[in-house]
Amino acid sequence: MSQLETAMCLLIKTFDQYAGSEGKKDTLTKAELKTLLEKELPALLKGAKNQGEMDKLMQGLDFNGDSEVDFNEFVVMVAALTCAAHGRFCKK
C-alpha cells in the first residue's frame, strides 16, 4: 500500500479501536473520545485543561447533535488538526 493508503487504514483502525467500548460500535461517546485523544493526540489535550473545554470540543465535533462522534465527524477533526499542523510546520 502507498503511504496515503496506509494513513487512511490507520485512521479507520484507530477510530474502530476506541469506538464501541461503550454504547454503539460505530460512534465515539464523550468518554471514548477523551480516551482516544489522551492516547493518540496527547498534545491536543494539553490545551483542554478542564472538563468544560473537553465538553466544548465534543460539542464542536458533534455536527448532527446526537451526543456522539461518528466516523465522518472524527475525520473532519483529524483533517482540521492536520491543516493546522501543516500551517505550523510550513512556517518553520
Instruction: Please say if the pLDDT value at position 6 is more than 70.
Output: yes
Yes or no: domain 3-91 corresponds to CATH 3.40.980.10:
no
State how far the Cα of 56 lies from the Cα of 9, in Å rounded to an integer.
28
Q: What is the pLDDT of residue 63?
A: 81
Model confidence at 88: pLDDT above 70: no
Q: Is the pTM of this model over 0.85?
A: no
At 20-77, the pLDDT tens digits run: 888 789 999 988 988 898 899 887 666 556 667 667 777 777 788 888 899 999 999 8
| Res 2: pLDDT | 97
Give the span between the Cα atoms of 36 and 82, in whole angstroms.
16
Closest CA to 21 of 9, 11, 34: 34
